[in-house]
Amino acid sequence: MPAMSAPLTFSGVLPANLLPLQADLSIDDPAYRAHLRWLVDAPGVTGVVVNGHAAEVASLSREERRQALAIALDEVGGACPIISGVYADGTQDAVALARDAKAGGAAGILVFPPTLFMWGAQLKPDMAIRHYSDIAGAVDIPIIVFEYPPASGIGYTPETLAKLAEIPTVVGVKDWSNDIVAFEQNLRAIRATERPVAVLSSFTMSLMATFLLGADGAISGMGSVVADLQAEMFEACQKGDLERARGGNDRLAPLVRVFYAPPFVDMHNRMKEARR
């Protein structure tokens, strides 16, 4: 694969934090701060993603998303970069959330695909390119593209990812393609652009395989529980220490089976129970 022409903005293991809530569904500030501190103290953690799936972003109001980011920056912002999720169906809503993230002090944003893309946007890649280009044109902040499984209808093709990687402020792709063949195709397409765009695996059901293929790190909700183990396995893969990497993978396997067992929607509830 072609070498990248400049250093990566984000790489390594960036867990997506869980968000502890009170019985009234307000943010549990002390528990959230303790969780964030635990994450950044884990060896090998290079950043934290707030307002992601693990933090139940779809259920948060705009103000709660600002609050979650503000708490994270106050508690651990001096220790590592904090990236904020941008979860919205409309481009203008996404721009507004990106502006919130920049004003709040986020080091970058993770842009989710609009769910309406499942109606056939894979056949109209200009929709995705326009969505990201408009966000990039309105807000000067590093962008990570969130790649979903192709079968979901809102995953981008390798060709579309390559075009998104040409947007100057796109610095990464969180790849949750959940298909090792698709992952490798995406990786090769992004590398072929020769731009410094990190490929950050979210393929936590087969994380070691993506590390060995050449992922630059991981963004993972499961990292909210086992960031240290993921970082250890990533380091082993980087050094070509396969025996150590396999050992780490074997340690993670029982948790993978438990967290991602049906129904899939309960995965983050299970992770919260594991952290109690």
Range of the domain at 110: 12-275
Is residue 148, in this structure, part of any structural domain at all?
A: yes
C-alpha pair distances (Å), 55 with each of 8, 36, 111 = 26, 12, 15
Give, as one character, the DSSP assignment of residue 10.
Answer: S
Is residue 3, in this structure, part of any structural domain at all?
A: no
Predicted confidence pLDDT, tens digits, the chain (276 residues): 655 556 888 999 999 999 999 999 999 999 999 999 999 999 999 999 999 999 999 999 999 999 999 999 999 999 999 999 999 999 999 999 999 999 999 999 999 999 988 888 888 999 999 999 999 999 999 999 999 998 898 999 999 999 999 999 999 999 999 999 999 999 999 999 999 999 999 999 999 999 999 999 999 999 999 999 999 999 999 999 999 999 999 999 999 999 999 998 999 899 988 887
For 148, list phi and psi in degrees, rounded to 5.
-95, 165
Residues 209-260 pLDDT 10s: 999 999 999 999 999 999 999 999 999 999 999 999 999 999 999 999 999 9
Nearest C-alpha neighbor of 43 from the set 23, 15, 62: 15
- 140 burial class (0-12, 13-18, 19+ CB within 10 angstroms)? exposed
Please tell me the distance from the alpha carbon of residue 205 to that of residue 207, in angstroms, as a whole number.
Answer: 6
CATH number reported for the structural domain that contains residue 229 in this entry? 3.20.20.70
C-alpha pair distances (Å), 61 with each of 7, 34, 57, 69, 137 = 35, 22, 8, 12, 25
Report the chain's C-alpha Rg in angstroms: 17
Is residue 6, in this structure, part of any structural domain at all?
A: no
Q: What pTM does this model have?
A: 0.95
C-alpha pair distances (Å), 25 with each of 28, 36, 59, 93, 163 = 8, 19, 10, 23, 40
Please tell me the distance from the alpha carbon of residue 156 to that of residue 4, in angstroms, as a whole number.
Answer: 22
Is residue 263, in this structure, part of any structural domain at all?
A: yes
Is residue 93, in this structure, part of any structural domain at all?
A: yes
Is residue 2, in this structure, part of any structural domain at all?
A: no
- If one counts the domains in the chain, the total is 1
pLDDT recorded at residue 276: 75
Is residue 7, in this structure, part of any structural domain at all?
A: no
Is residue 5, in this structure, part of any structural domain at all?
A: no
